[in-house]
Amino acid sequence: MSRLQTEVAGNRLRFAGRIDETAQLAPLVGQLPPGPITLVPEDVTFVNSVGLREWIRFVRALRESGHAVTLERVADVLMTQMNLIGELHGLPITSFHAQYECPTCRHEEQPLVDATLPPVACVECGSPMQLADFPERYLTIFRT
């Protein structure tokens, strides 16, 4: 299981791999340019409770140092866990991956969606897919 990889490109910070006890997030705060920051955790594959705590502290540190933080293309595994944490509610998120299932052929995938949870066509049979979980598992974080 791969350790967390990060890549800074301008005001965008991409994440790939595991957010766990090996993830070094705090030093990233000092490496970012001033102004708004977009976090792109699309390729995060695993988050445990220690990693989630580090992620919360990282987001908190960014905000406390004056950055306006936006999240984009959030991995499903991180999105559902962030929804459990009250401190993160209201965090701007423009898009995220969510678990969808086709009621016809039971194909599952994680398309990129936004808070409207739009309909998605099944890539295998073309039927309209449905969100495979309760909407609040993804949308609680949008409440302030």
Partner 1 sequence: MHGERRAQRSLQRLLGATLCRVDVVPDLATATIDEDTIVVVDSAIAMTALDACKRDARAWIAVPGEGLQPADPPAVSALLQAGWDHVVAHPMPLLAEELLATAQKLIRRDCFGLEKYMVWGAEVRAFQLEDAVERDAAVTAIASDVTRVGLPDRIGSLVSVIADELLANALYAAPVDEHGARHRAHDPRDRSRPLAGRDAVTLRWSTDGRYLAIEVRDRWGSIEPAAIEGRLATTKTSTAEGGMGLPLAYACSNQLVVNVAPGALTEVIALLDIRYKPTELARSASFHAFWGDPP
Among positions 80-139, residues that touch partner 1 (CB under 8 A) are 81, 84-87, 99, 101, 108, 110, 131-134, 136-137
User: Could you give the CA distance from residue 36 to residue 32 in angstroms, rounded to a whole number?
Assistant: 10
Q: Which is nearer to partner 1, 12 or 131 (CB)?
A: 131
What is the chain's Cα-based Rg?
A: 16
- Restricted to residues 46-75, the positions that interact with partner 1 (CB under 8 A) are 46-50, 52-53, 56
**7 vs 21, beta carbon nearer partner 1:** 21
Pairing of strands 12-19, 37-47: parallel
- Min. distance of Cβ 94 from partner 1 in angstroms? 23
- Sorted by sequence, the CB contacts under 8 Å of residue 6 that are 6+ apart come out as 13, 14, 15, 16, 28
Q: How far is the CB of 79 from partner 1 (least distance, A)?
A: 12
> CA angle at residue 69 from 66 to 75, to 5 degrees?
150
Structure-block tokens of residue 16: 């790939």
Helix (H) or strand (E) holding 84: none
Binders in 11-50 for partner 1, by CB under 8 A: 20-22, 46-50
CB-nearer residue toward partner 1: 49 or 104: 49
Instruction: Kindly state the number of chain residues that form the binding site for partner 1, as judged by CB under 8 A.
Output: 30
Alpha helix segments (H runs only) across 43-133: 49-64, 76-82
The contact set with partner 1 (CB under 8 A) reads: 1, 20-22, 46-50, 52-53, 56, 76-77, 81, 84-87, 99, 101, 108, 110, 131-134, 136-137, 140
